[in-house]
C-alpha cells in the first residue's frame, strides 16, 4: 500500500476530472448489474408473483413452508452452521497461530493446510464418503483393530445425528482453510513490535494472545465469520453426497424444487430465504461485534 499512498497526491492534483477510471470500472458495474443485482431482484420477484397471472401472491412461500422437508431444512442448515463455523474459526485460528510461529517447515505445513481451498464441496463429500460408507475406511479400521465384527452403517436415516456429524466433519475438514488464510493474512499485518512490547511488559503468551493479538485480529475474525457463515447457509454438495435428502438443507431444497419438481418459483422462495438469512446474520454480526468493542474498551 505504501507505494500507492505516495503516488496518489500526484494523480489527485489534476484539476480536470479524468474519466479514465470510470471507463475502466464500467464493464464490471454493467456486468454485475445484469448478472448479480438483476437476479437478486428477480429471485424475490419470482418468489412473490404468480407465473400465470403475474399478480402478487404468497402461494410459493406457503407451498414452501407446507412442505415436509421445510422445517428440517431450516433446522439442519442452522445446526450445521452453528456447530461447524465455530469449530472452523477455532481450528483456523490455531493453525494460523501455528504457522505464524514460523517453525522450520512452516511453509510446507501452510501449503498442506491450504490444499482444501482448492477442493470442491462435491469432492470433499465424496472423499469422506469413502471413509464413512458401510464398507469404508472407518469400518475397515475398526475391524482391523478388533472393535467391530460386522460393519456399522454410519450413514443412515435411522441415525440422523451421525449423518449430521459426518456432514459437519466434512465441512470442517474442507472449509477451515479459508478461515485460516484470512486470519493468517490478518496476523501478518500486526507489527512484531506489539508482541515484543507486550512481552517486555511481562505478558505471557496467553495474555499476549488475549489482549494484543485477538483485538487486533478482530476485522479478520469478523470477515472470516461472515464469509464462512454465508457459505454454510448455502451448504449443498457435501450434504447431498453424504446424506442425500435425509439431511435436508435450504440450498438442497432449492435444487430439488427446481430440478425435481420443476418449480422455479418455490426454488426462488428458498433462494430468497437464504438471501434473507444471510443478510440478517451479517447485520447481527456487525452489530454484536461493534457492541462488544465498546464494552471491552473501558476495562
Residues of this chain, 145-164, that bind other proteins according to CB under 8 A? 150-151
Binding other proteins (rule: CB under 8 A), the pick from 49, 143, 199, 246 is 143
Per-residue b or e along 15-34, where b marks 16 or more CB atoms closer than 10 Å to that residue's CB: eeeeeeeeeeeeeeeeeeee
Judged by CB under 8 A, the chain residues 99 through 128 that form the site for other proteins are 101, 103, 105, 109-123, 125-128
Grid coordinates representing 273?
430465504
Residue 296 pairs in a beta bridge with: none
Per-residue b or e along 144-171, where b marks 16 or more CB atoms closer than 10 Å to that residue's CB: eeeeeeeebebbeeeeeebbbebbbbbb
Cα distance between residue 127 and residue 120, in whole Å: 10
Phi-psi region of 191 (alpha: psi -120 to 50; beta: other; left: phi over 0): beta
Judged by CB under 8 A, the chain residues 209 through 268 that form the site for other proteins are 219-220, 222-223, 226-227, 230-231, 233-234, 236-237, 240-241, 244, 251, 254-255, 258-259, 264, 267-268
Angle of CA points 142, 147, 148, to nearest 5°: 80
Judged by CB under 8 A, the chain residues 195 through 214 that form the site for other proteins are none
Q: How far is the CB of 146 from other proteins (least distance, A)?
A: 11
Contact between 87 and other proteins per CB under 8 A? no
Contact between 284 and other proteins per CB under 8 A? no
Judged by CB under 8 A, the chain residues 21 through 50 that form the site for other proteins are 21-25, 27-28, 31-32, 35-36, 38-40, 42-43, 45-46
Contact between 20 and other proteins per CB under 8 A? yes
Binding other proteins (rule: CB under 8 A), the pick from 53, 54, 55, 135 is 135
Q: How far is the CB of 93 from other proteins (least distance, A)?
A: 12
Contact between 173 and other proteins per CB under 8 A? yes
Give the SS3 label for residue 213. helix
Binding other proteins (rule: CB under 8 A), the pick from 77, 88, 139, 247 is 139
Contact between 288 and other proteins per CB under 8 A? no
Contacts of 163 (CB under 8 A, 6+ apart): 155, 156, 157, 242, 243, 246, 247
Contact between 61 and other proteins per CB under 8 A? no
List strand residue ranges (DSSP E) for the chain, in order: none
Amino acid at each position: 500500500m505504501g507505494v500507492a499512498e505516495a503516488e496518489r497526491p500526484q494523480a489527485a492534483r489534476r484539476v480536470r476530472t479524468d474519466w479514465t477510471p470510470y471507463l475502466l470500472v464500467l464493464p464490471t458495474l454493467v456486468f454485475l448489474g445484469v448478472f448479480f443485482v438483476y437476479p437478486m431482484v428477480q429471485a424475490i420477484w419470482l418468489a412473490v408473483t404468480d407465473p400465470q397471472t403475474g399478480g402478487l401472491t404468497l402461494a410459493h412461500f406457503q407451498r414452501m413452508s407446507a412442505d415436509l422437508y421445510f422445517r428440517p431444512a431450516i433446522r439442519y442448515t442452522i445446526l450445521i452452521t452453528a456447530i461447524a463455523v465455530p469449530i472452523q474459526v477455532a481450528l483456523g485460528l490455531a493453525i494460523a497461530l501455528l504457522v505464524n510461529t514460523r517453525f522450520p517447515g512452516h511453509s510446507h505445513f501452510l501449503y498442506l493446510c491450504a490444499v482444501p481451498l482448492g477442493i470442491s464441496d462435491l469432492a470433499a463429500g465424496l472423499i469422506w464418503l469413502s471413509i464413512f460408507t458401510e464398507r469404508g475406511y472407518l469400518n475397515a479400521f475398526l475391524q482391523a483393530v478388533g472393535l467391530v465384527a460386522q460393519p456399522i452403517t454410519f450413514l443412515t436415516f435411522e441415525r440422523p445425528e451421525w449423518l449430521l456429524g459426518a456432514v459437519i466433519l466434512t465441512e470442517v475438514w474442507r472449509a477451515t482453510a479459508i478461515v485460516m488464510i484470512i486470519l493468517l493474512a490478518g496476523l501478518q499485518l500486526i507489527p512484531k513490535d506489539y508482541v515484543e512490547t507486550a512481552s517486555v511488559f511481562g505478558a505471557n503468551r496467553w495474555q499476549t494472545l488475549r489482549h494484543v493479538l485477538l483485538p487486533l485480529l478482530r476485522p479478520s475474525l469478523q470477515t472470516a465469520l461472515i464469509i464462512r457463515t454465508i457459505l454454510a447457509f448455502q451448504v449443498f454438495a457435501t450434504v447431498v453426497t453424504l446424506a442425500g435428502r435425509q439431511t435436508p438443507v435450504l440450498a438442497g431444497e432449492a435444487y430439488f424444487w427446481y430440478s425435481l419438481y420443476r418449480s422455479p418459483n418455490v426454488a426462488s422462495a428458498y433462494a430468497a430465504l437464504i438471501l434473507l438469512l444471510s443478510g440478517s446474520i451479517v447485520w447481527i454480526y456487525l452489530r454484536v461485534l461493534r457492541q462488544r468493542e465498546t464494552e471491552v474498551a473501558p476495562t
